[in-house]
Structure 1
Amino acid sequence: MNAAIINGDLFRNLAFLENRTPVETKQLQFFSIYNENNALLGGTNMVDLYWNGSLWYYKDISDFSREKATIKQRIDSGVCDAVYMNENIFVIVEDSGAVRVYQTVEMDEQSELHLLGYVCQHDSSILSVSAFFNQRNIVTGGMDCCLKIWDIEDLIATYSYSFAHLDIITGTDVKPMCCSVFASVSLDSESLLWDIRRAKPASSIFKKNNCPLSAVSWNTTLENIVAIGTVEGSIAIIDIRQTEVPLCESVEYDRGIHKLLFNPTPERKEQLACCFDNTSVKVFDTERELTQIYEDNSHYDFVRGLAWYKDDLYSCSWDANVLKHIVN
């Protein structure tokens, strides 16, 4: 009992940790490339006494080793996702329920990150963030079953849909070239289409009984096509104009879908990248009944983040590595 009390006192005042070398963040969570001179990488420290995160900013996408990052920013909470608003401003969301807005600034030939705003209004972890075309509004969703539409300039929630789903919201994605429409998926087995201009903003576009949904991606060239992934490992391609039956649906894989991402290049609009709750990265052809056209298993821990740049696909993993995939 005395030893327990002493240990408890040590952890409460943390005096013995002042000179302790921090553990380097290994578990990479998300990856985003704006252009060849602008990319973000984020991770959450899951193996230390503190649950915190790190953010790396790169001005060169040829090498994503941590020591090559132009800026490294320590975050006092785990980081889950990020999205660019424009070339200099981006938003990250945290597992604390917080939203942070950063701006990259060039000062005396040095790059710096300036925190433009911080707000915490979700009651639990935010798992997904997407930006609307106007570069001012974003949508967030997460473990509190709540969806929020944010005005980034004023950093206020202009719309808040409490219990938008009956279970954890696992993904959101906005309609291309649009400022009011987005899709959401949840562990409640349903995907909803939202239009914030309407009095009744939500309508169902896909539901699979007793099969939780885990990922969503909107085709950036074909504005009516949405891909939805499930915890059971299947993918459905939906045309939002006729949602009764999916355009096509893949067989179930042995692990759940974690993230889906369409290739934004118009000439490659049919390519859908996918990572699972395992080490594999795959690319499917959505115009050929989800035929697999690429697979890589070079990672040795769960793959969490995907990013396209031109014809190349990048992935990041809990193994601390970023890999480039030559798909074509």
Structure 2
Amino acid sequence: MDYSQRMNMIDMFTDPPEYRPPATVEEMAGSVDYPNLNSQQYRMTRKTSAPTVLNPCLELAARNSAGQVILVGNNYMGRRWESSFYGWENAADVPDQSKACFKRQCRYSITALQFTQDPNLFLLGSDKGSVELWSTRNPARGDGYSLYQVDVQSEHIEAVSAMDLFHGDENKLVTGSHDGCIKVWLYGADLASITTMTNAHTDEITALTTNRNELSTFASTSLDRSALLWDLRKPRPATALFAKHQFAFT
């Protein structure tokens, strides 16, 4: 074999020095010399900032002991999936956006919502696998509403699909995700996961509910057609309520 005749693959696929496509979106819009740049132009185009509005797909709502209401709307029709949430002092003002006490636009879909036992704290789960702790008031910030994020943890690999709180002296919650993982958390000044069941189910977890009278037990359902009762005090915590049910639990 005559190695002097071989082709240098690096040189073959290297852009020649005279190849200088437009570098900005404005230059691309007026150029006809360099075709097939549509995808690059799309990536470089900045999305115009829009005012915060309650997105049309209303999927989640929560009400706390003080009567405050939070409503979550997701948007699946735009360039990117996003969400927003609005909070009202009382249910009579819903859904009048002009009477909302606080609001926030998010660059992801919100998939779970829960008020905590503290009426000024609430929790969100997202399609990016994060769990977020939010506060609506803080004495250090003065009177009135002052929405801010206390902590966020991204420990689920896939979207959070279910969430519920334990009712007791200890601030605990449980979350489940699309990949069948269940996590137990402590919340307060921050968020910290204390227990993880990676393969709790073999499909998406569709619901979680805690026992109001027992602080260590909860139940879970899944698209894998099973429903499990969990006791966190046991070394093997899961007990099957239904296994291979005729239909998936939604």
TM range (shorter): 0.7 to 0.9
Matching residue of 1:142? 177
Q: Deviations over 1:236-269 (max 9, x none)?
A: xxxxxxxxxxxxxxxxxxxxxxxxxxxxxxxxxx
Matching residue of 1:274? none
Tell me the matched-pair count.
213
Q: Deviations over 1:111-143 (max 9, x none)?
A: 121211011111111111100013511100020
Is 1:35 matched with 2:68? no
Q: Distance in 1 between matches of 2:135 and 2:60?
A: 18
Q: Shift of residue 59 of structure 1? A: 0.7
Residues 24 and 45 of structure 1 are in contact (CA less than 8 Å); yes or no, is this contact kept in structure 2?
no
- Give the TM-score normalised by the residue count of structure 1: 0.60
Matching residue of 1:94? 126
Residues 225 and 244 of structure 2 are in contact (CA less than 8 Å); yes or no, is this contact kept in structure 1?
yes
Task: Describe the shift of the 1:202–1:117 C-alpha distance in structure 2 as closer, same or farther (beyond 3 A).
Answer: same
Counterpart of 1:56, as a letter, is Y
Matching residue of 1:186? 222
Residues 52 and 105 of structure 2 are in contact (CA less than 8 Å); yes or no, is this contact kept in structure 1?
no
Is 1:171 matched with 2:200? no
Q: Which has the larger radius of gyration?
A: 2
Structure of greater relative contact order (alpha carbons < 8 Å, 6+ residues apart): 1
**Bigger share in strand:** 1
Structure 1: gaps spanning 5 or more residues: 215-328
Q: Distance in 2 between matches of 1:4 and 1:35?
A: 60
Q: Which piece of structure 1 moves more, 201-210 or 162-171? A: 201-210
Return the match for 1:80 from 87, 103, 111. 111
Counterpart of 2:59, as a letter, is Q
Residues 53 and 84 of structure 2 are in contact (CA less than 8 Å); yes or no, is this contact kept in structure 1?
no
Residues 56 and 74 of structure 2 are in contact (CA less than 8 Å); yes or no, is this contact kept in structure 1?
yes
Residues 181 and 196 of structure 2 are in contact (CA less than 8 Å); yes or no, is this contact kept in structure 1?
yes
Return the match for 1:45 from 60, 75, 79. 75
- Give the TM-score normalised by the residue count of structure 2: 0.78
Q: Distance in 2 between matches of 1:187 and 1:113?
A: 35
Q: Distance in 1 between matches of 2:164 and 2:248?
A: 21
Q: Distance in 1 between matches of 2:52 and 2:122?
A: 26
Q: Shift of residue 210 of structure 1? A: 3.5
Q: For the aligned residues, what is the CA RMSD? A: 2.3
Matching residue of 2:232? 196
Residues 66 and 119 of structure 2 are in contact (CA less than 8 Å); yes or no, is this contact kept in structure 1?
no
